[in-house]
Copies of this chain bind each other. A is one copy, B any other.
Amino acid sequence: MNAPLPAAVAAPFYQAQGDECRLFEAAWQQQLPVLIKGPTGCGKTRFVAHMAARLGLPLITVSCHDDLSAADLVGRHLIGDGQTVWCDGPLTRAVRQGGICYLDEVVEARKDTTVVLHPLTDDRRMLPIERTGELLEAPPSFMLVVSYNPGYQHVLKTLKPSTRQRFVAMSFDFPAPDVELAVLMQETGIAESQARQLVTLAGQLRRLTGYDLDESVSTRLLVYAAKLMMSGMSTQLACRTALAEPLSDESDTIAALLAVIDTQFPAR
């Protein structure tokens, strides 16, 4: 399903789960912006890095936050050596290079970012740089990708419908067990038997309900646990440190997580 493409650099490992690679490529061909939805640590960022490498495109990633403004994305004048120099922001750099600009957790960004995203998602595909008066036309290879986690949103932090409707969208979830097993072994070098145990444990932890858990165990945290095990920590200590403590501060919740871990990996 992953058709060979000329790739400038070796694509980082990504284990496809369905049509996502073909769909992403079609959107890029049609110059459509893409919205990726999915939980923390499920592989969204890796997927975008993989596709950028396969398509031979530069990738510029921005972690969005409450104070990220349009000027942070577009650029600003800086004073240096006694003169003022314009400094492109990451979005402008991506447009100039004809690469992918990936805005991670885009719902966190300030609302004035819409002023630069909207013209880029029109058929015009323009980036107006108000401060310099420049009006930059995006080359055909430029692509805008945004992501967020729909399971964890403030009431006040959502994409406006008028922004959402400018993207085609795809939903991600945690990988299927076989895929996750391959990811763990590839990323950490852990033995298959141990990796399988961790994947089984992840499934049990993700089915745990009725506790104060904003999110469940991610593939990333499984990788962390495997790495601690590779460094000589006991399975139980590694899982407690990487799979229980990062998820909650509530003693009841942690106790429940630990109970599942202890059942899977009894203390020796």
Contact string, A72-84, partner B, CB cutoff 8 A, digits 1/0? 1000011111111
> With the chains together, A240 CA to B76 CA distance in Å?
39
Closest to A33 in B: B224
- Interface: A228 (CB within 8 A): yes
> With the chains together, A67 CA to B68 CA distance in Å?
12
> With the chains together, A77 CA to B119 CA distance in Å?
25
Pairwise interchain contact A245-B77, C-beta atoms closer than 8 A: no
25 contacts across the A-B interface (CB closer than 8 A): A23-B237, A23-B241, A26-B228, A26-B232, A26-B233, A32-B228, A35-B245, A37-B249, A40-B162, A63-B119, A65-B111, A68-B115, A81-B83, A82-B83, A82-B84, A88-B133, A104-B118, A108-B111, A149-B162, A152-B160, A166-B220, A168-B242, A169-B245, A169-B246, A170-B241
* Main SS class of interface, A: mixed
Which one, B84, B114, B231, contacts A79 given CB within 8 A?
B84
Which one, B41, B66, B169, contacts A110 given CB within 8 A?
B66
Q: Which bucket holds chain A's interface residue count? A: 35 or more
Closest to A73 in B: B130
Q: Which 3 A-B pairs have the closest CB atoms?
A: A169-B245, A150-B249, A66-B111
Pairwise interchain contact B87-A245, C-beta atoms closer than 8 A: no
